[in-house]
Structure 1
Amino acid sequence: MNRRLAIFTALGIATSGLFASSASAAADYPDKPVRMIVPYAAGGGVDNIARVVATHLGARLKQPVIIDNRPGANANIGADAVAKAAPDGYTLLMGATFLAFNRATMKVIPYDASQDLVPVARTGKAPFVLVVPASSPFKTVAELVEYMKANPDKASYGAVGAGSPTNLIFPKNTGTNPVQVLYKGGAAAMPDLIAGRLTYMIQTTSEVLPSIASGKLRALAVSGSTRFGHLPAVPTMKEAGVKDLEGTGWWGLFAPAKTPPAVVQRLSDEIQVVMKQADVAAALDKLGIEPAPMPAATFAPFFEAELKSYVEVARQFNLTAE
């Protein structure tokens, strides 16, 4: 009995020591710069919101939050780097819907978004916009679809991530078969789209709004169940006759699994403050992004629901990407 008591006492001391060490580390966090990995090229939708968030989060943490662009492999290079990073809160991921659709549609992926990443906080949301070059003759989705059906060998679209359900559902539900041209980021595709080397693109608002405003691109439809405030005259996909595209994009911060809960909570709390700042809301509004903060406790079940939703979409529409 005395021997058991001694063992349990020793275990208790060791465990309490671990908790004390974790709590101490969290109390000192951060004591050096934090790296925020963006798994796309600079200038794209994920990068745009990441830079706004990083600047203001750094001010709250009193340490620089440095953007590290790691594009490639449908955003899996950057996401995998975070999944395999030390779980200490110094390597973060600006994630988005790509985490859900990659997991649902790709056959081989080097990490599990559900197991290897911990949701920290959601930051924003926005619809996707179907755009064509301003020089194109298409004024409606119906005109675009008619052209693609008549010219299947000439139609093409730009995509950031081969497995995006938005990009795969649109051709499937319009009975078209345009050629997909892949880019490492939305910004990289813009010159080709504006010049007319691509027929259309369905992209996040932050990447196309400036070109729509300047008259270089024309918006034909937006995803979501309601019209977009920045483009009130543009119909939703459903209004334009394309079903099953009511979803919208979102962005959120993730950390490696096993990051100390106290560190996750600290980051989550700071993000809630950041996303409610007037200057942050104004900066995101210019990008067509709505601040949509969600703390870790709420973001985690939201993310799991998104993962399941995209699996269902992939199953329903037989969506696969290599």
Structure 2
Amino acid sequence: MNRRLASFAALATLVLGSLGIHPSIASAADTYPDKPVKMIVPYAAGGGVDNIARVVATHLSARLKQPVIIDNRPGANANIGADAVAKASPDGYTLLMGATFLAFNRATMKSTPYDASRDLVPVARTGKAPFVLVVPASSPFKTVAELVAYMKANPDKASYGAVGAGSPTNLIFPKNTGTTPVQVLYKGGAAAMPDLIAGRLTYMIQTTSEVLPHITTGKLRALAVSGSTRFGHLPTVPTMKEAGVADLEGTGWWGLFAPAKTPAAVVQRLSDEIQVVMKQPDVIAALDKLGIESAPMPSQTFMPFFQEELKSYVDVARQFNLTVE
């Protein structure tokens, strides 16, 4: 009898191995999760990615019945945190709250320590939002045209804040307006806010979640939003195209990623739970306060979406000759 069991176990191991599934991983997928899950945020606390990650983590924890712990690892334009997930054990216990930076970095950097297309598995999209061009409330500029005119007349005095190495929106805006403002880099959007509000920066183009609270309290003034339509929270603010700046219709998105080779059953479990979480009224309301639209997308749809984003950013980088050292 013991010989039969041993033979059966050996056969099972052989079959699972032929499918590329280690028996211990297959078993782990059945019991997942049986310990806390780490969600790495590759930016400093208080920024746009961190904001949505904390909302998602709290409610995902309730669904998984295990703590989902936020681990902020900023630096290298989010590559430090993303690389940590790409190289983590593919067991579903280390996740990444990713965003458009994954596509931007891959398209504009000569090299990254990981390949976003090959080393990460898109689990589920969580939200989306436009970018907003803002200036300090004390700024004399009321329109994009006034801001551009000033920067052209004072090229050595204008500056803007950017997270990491910036984004296509930050890099395309100066190119399409014929201006040369100085880029000041920060590890997170929240870190830039004091300088922007105090007027030490001329302007900033950032996701709604980081600037909307300051717009609402009157500390910042919105001049334009990205996207093809106006933003519901700021109905009187024109789109970039309406303000005279072309090729800035892209919007930001956020999503959950896991290391490549994470068991399909684990990816599916996480994807299913995220779909439930993002449809909960309190989650929708919490994100709405941040200016983020809850926009869940399951893994099966998020995967092709992400691949298309990677291609799109490569095309934009080539068209505008966008490179980051």
TM-score class, shorter: over 0.9
Contact 1:106–1:163 (CA under 8 A) maintained in structure 2: no
Q: 1:49 to 1:13 in 2, by over 3 A?
A: closer
Equivalent in 57, 65, 71 of residue 62 of structure 1? 65
Q: 1:13 to 1:134 in 2, by over 3 A?
A: closer
Equivalent in 278, 282, 285 of residue 279 of structure 1? 282
2:50 equivalent to 1:47: yes
Contact 1:148–1:176 (CA under 8 A) maintained in structure 2: yes
TM-score normalised by L of structure 1: 0.95
Equivalent in 262, 265, 269 of residue 259 of structure 1? 262
Q: 1:111 to 1:13 in 2, by over 3 A?
A: closer
Aligned AA for 2:324?
A
Identity %: 89
Aligned AA for 1:191?
P
Distance in 2 between residues matched to 1:10 and 1:37, nearest whole Å: 37
Matches within 5 A, 1:117-266: 117-266=120-269
Aligned AA for 1:304?
Q
Contact 1:127–1:205 (CA under 8 A) maintained in structure 2: yes
Distance in 2 between residues matched to 1:98 and 1:82, nearest whole Å: 15
Distance in 2 between residues matched to 1:194 and 1:13, nearest whole Å: 61
Unpaired runs of at least 5, structure 1: 1-8
Deviation at 1:16, TM superposition (A): 3.6
Deviation at 1:290, TM superposition (A): 0.2
Deviation at 1:161, TM superposition (A): 2.5
Secondary structure, in 3 states, of the residue corresponding to 1:215? coil
Aligned AA for 2:91?
D
Deviation at 1:108, TM superposition (A): 2.0
Deviation at 1:14, TM superposition (A): 1.2
Unpaired runs of at least 5, structure 2: 1-8
Q: 1:217 to 1:164 in 2, by over 3 A?
A: same
2:116 equivalent to 1:108: no
Secondary structure, in 3 states, of the residue corresponding to 1:63? coil
Deviation at 1:274, TM superposition (A): 0.1
Distance in 1 between residues matched to 2:16 and 2:81, nearest whole Å: 35
Deviation at 1:15, TM superposition (A): 1.8
Deviation at 1:162, TM superposition (A): 1.4
Contact 1:101–1:163 (CA under 8 A) maintained in structure 2: no
Deviation at 1:25, TM superposition (A): 1.2
- 4+ aligned runs moved over 2 Å, structure 1: 9-13, 16-24
Contact 1:105–1:163 (CA under 8 A) maintained in structure 2: no
Secondary structure, in 3 states, of the residue corresponding to 2:233? coil
